């Protein structure tokens, strides 16, 4: 069981994806701007093997993936895609370690966050050899989850060893809601994808959490998030885009916070708006949510994180830097005095 408290996420961090193709430049920015929870960036602009599902090619143990016209497919043995994914991940780790050392953070207490596709989204996006979504095959779903969980544990341990600090994990689950609600489409009109049972989804998430051996957050920019499922799971935090929240989500957030866990609020736009928001405006957007729920402002300091609304792959490099900087400034303000935010 992890000894890292859910409150590790009650600060500023990035979601994961980043614009451009330079791992070194991206690592320098996040190490410099995010001084409480730096994250290992993903650069999907580099193409195959660098996106959310492609990165799984570098994490899965004893399962390989390759490309097909519709995306990625499970294959019998590793090929060029798996090698490319591993090479890109290694490049990202080297860049982060270099930036970490350059900033003099060796032996630092600053934790680092790594991201991986969650088991539901991974199985929804990967095809089996028959061409169907892996999520439609219970055996494939369980095998993928076990492989992913083992890979996450290995990855987390390597990052912790190289940086000499605690490492937490974020599972990206953009398709979780769709899978639970039966909204995934099959490869043909006569191959429906049945809804995933909630108890099974909890089991799969908990398998990944147990293997990670650290605090784990689930991130989704989707609407209709399954808060009852989150409550039943062992995850430490949920990361959301506030623009997707409805009344039911607010109730779910309230119960999740009352349970002593953490919610990361995506309050900084992922794409540059005009005009740019101020620190006061971003802070007020976060405070408004907890105020509506009747929480004391101290919850902003103790159990609320601040992030961009979603990944920053579509942003300009300048806005990406500004966005994570804004998130950090708001989190710093909450840490210093959450009562000052109107």
**Domain containing 146 — which CATH number?**
3.20.20.210
Is 210 a domain residue? yes
Q: How confident is the model at residue 341 (pLDDT cuts 50, 70, 90)?
A: low
Q: Is 164 exposed, middle or buried (0-12, 13-18, 19+ CB in 10 A)?
A: middle
Mean pLDDT rounded to a whole number for the chain: 95
- In this structure, is residue 282 part of a structural domain? yes
Neighbours of 244 (CB within 10 A): 17
pLDDT value, residue 190: 64
Q: Which residue has the higher pLDDT, 189 or 108?
A: 108
Does residue 169 fall inside a structural domain? yes
* Structure confidence at residue 188 as a pLDDT band (50, 70, 90): low
Q: CB of 205 within 8 A of CB of 235?
A: yes
Instruction: Write phi, then psi, for 307 (nearest 5 degrees).
Output: -145, 170
Could you tell me if 72 and 84 are in contact, meaning their C-beta atoms sit under 8 angstroms apart?
Answer: no
Token pair 């730096």 is at which residue?
Answer: 38
Whether 1 is in a domain gets the answer: no
Q: Where are the beta strands (DSSP E) in 77-192?
A: 112-117, 126-127, 167-172
- pLDDT tens string 229-248: 999 999 999 999 999 999 99
- pLDDT tens-digit profile of 85-96? 999 999 999 999
Q: Which domain holds residue 20?
A: 6-340
Mean pLDDT of 183-204: 88
Helix or strand holding residue 66 (H, E):
strand 64-68
CA–CA distance, 224 with 239 (Å, rounded to integer): 13
Residue 1 pLDDT exceeds 60? no
CA distance 212 to 2: 8
Structural domain includes residue 48? yes
* Contact by Cβ (8 Å): 81, 72: yes
Report the run of H or E that residue 64 belongs to, with start and end.
strand 64-68
pLDDT of residue 3: 76
pLDDT-derived band at 107, boundaries 50, 70, 90: confident
The pLDDT value recorded for residue 339 is 82
For the residues 124-132, what does the mean pLDDT come to? 92
Tell whether 18 is covered by a domain. Answer: yes
Question: Rounded CA gap, 160 and 122, in Å?
Answer: 24
Q: What tens digit of pLDDT does each residue of 144-185 get?
A: 999 999 999 999 999 999 999 999 999 999 999 999 999 999
pLDDT digits (tens, 9 = 90+) for 46-56: 999 999 999 99
Examine residue 190 and state whether it is found in any structural domain, yes or no: yes
Residue carrying structure tokens 């779903």: 141
* Structure-token pair, residue 229: 């499922």
In the block, residue with structure tokens 């410099």: 32
Distance, in Å, from the CA atom of 8 to the CA atom of 37, rounded to the nearest integer, reads: 8
Check pLDDT > 80 for residue 62. Answer: yes
- Is residue 180 a part of any domain in this protein? yes
Q: Taking 90 as the threshold, does the pLDDT of residue 70 lie above it?
A: no
- The stretch 200-216 carries a mean pLDDT of 98
The span from the CA of 263 to the CA of 249, in Å, is: 11
Q: How confident is the model at residue 135, as a pLDDT?
A: 96
Q: Which token pair is 116?
A: 């991986």
pLDDT for 272-304, tens place per residue?
999 999 999 999 999 999 999 999 999 999 999
Give the DSSP letter of residue 78: -
pLDDT band for 189, please (50, 70, 90 cuts): low
How far apart CA 195 and CA 180 sit, in angstroms, is 5
**pTM (predicted TM-score):** 0.97
pLDDT of the residue at 141: 97
Query: Which range among 1-5, 32-36, 246-250 shows the weakest confidence by mean pLDDT?
Result: 1-5
How many domains is the chain partitioned into structurally?
A: 1
């Amino acid at each position: 069981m992890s000894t890292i408290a859910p409150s590790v996420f009650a600060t500023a961090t990035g979601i994961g994806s980043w614009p451009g193709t330079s791992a070194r430049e991206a690592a320098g920015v996040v190490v410099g701007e995010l001084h409480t929870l730096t994250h290992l960036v993903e650069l999907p602009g580099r193409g195959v093997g660098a996106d959310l599902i492609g990165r799984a090619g570098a994490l899965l143990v004893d399962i390989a993936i390759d490309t097909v016209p519709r995306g990625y497919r499970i294959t019998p043995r590793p090929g060029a895609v798996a090698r490319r994914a591993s090479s890109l991940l290694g490049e990202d780790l080297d860049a982060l370690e270099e930036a970490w050392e350059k900033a003099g953070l060796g032996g630092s207490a600053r934790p680092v966050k790594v991201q991986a596709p969650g088991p539901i989204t991974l199985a929804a996006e990967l095809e089996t050899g028959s061409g169907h979504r892996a999520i439609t095959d219970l055996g494939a779903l369980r095998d993928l989850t076990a492989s992913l969980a083992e890979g996450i544990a290995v990855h987390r341990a390597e990052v912790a060893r190289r940086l000499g600090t605690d490492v937490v994990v974020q599972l990206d689950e953009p398709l979780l809601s769709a899978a639970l609600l039966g909204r995934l489409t099959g490869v043909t009109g006569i191959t429906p994808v049945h809804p995933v049972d909630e108890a099974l989804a909890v089991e799969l998430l908990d398998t990944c959490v147990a293997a990670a051996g650290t605090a784990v957050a689930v991130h989704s920019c989707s609407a209709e998030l399954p808060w009852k499922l989150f409550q039943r799971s062992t995850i430490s935090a949920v990361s959301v885009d506030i623009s997707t929240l409805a009344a039911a989500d607010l109730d779910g957030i309230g119960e999740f916070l009352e349970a002593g866990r953490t919610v990361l609020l995506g309050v900084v736009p992922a794409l540059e708006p005009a005009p740019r928001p101020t620190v006061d405006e971003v802070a007020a957007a976060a405070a408004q949510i907890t105020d509506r729920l009747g929480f004391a402002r101290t919850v902003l300091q103790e159990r609320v994180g601040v992030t961009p609304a979603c990944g920053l792959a579509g942003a300009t490099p300048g806005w990406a830097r500004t966005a994570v900087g804004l998130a950090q400034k708001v989190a710093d303000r909450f840490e210093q005095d959450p009562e000052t935010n109107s």
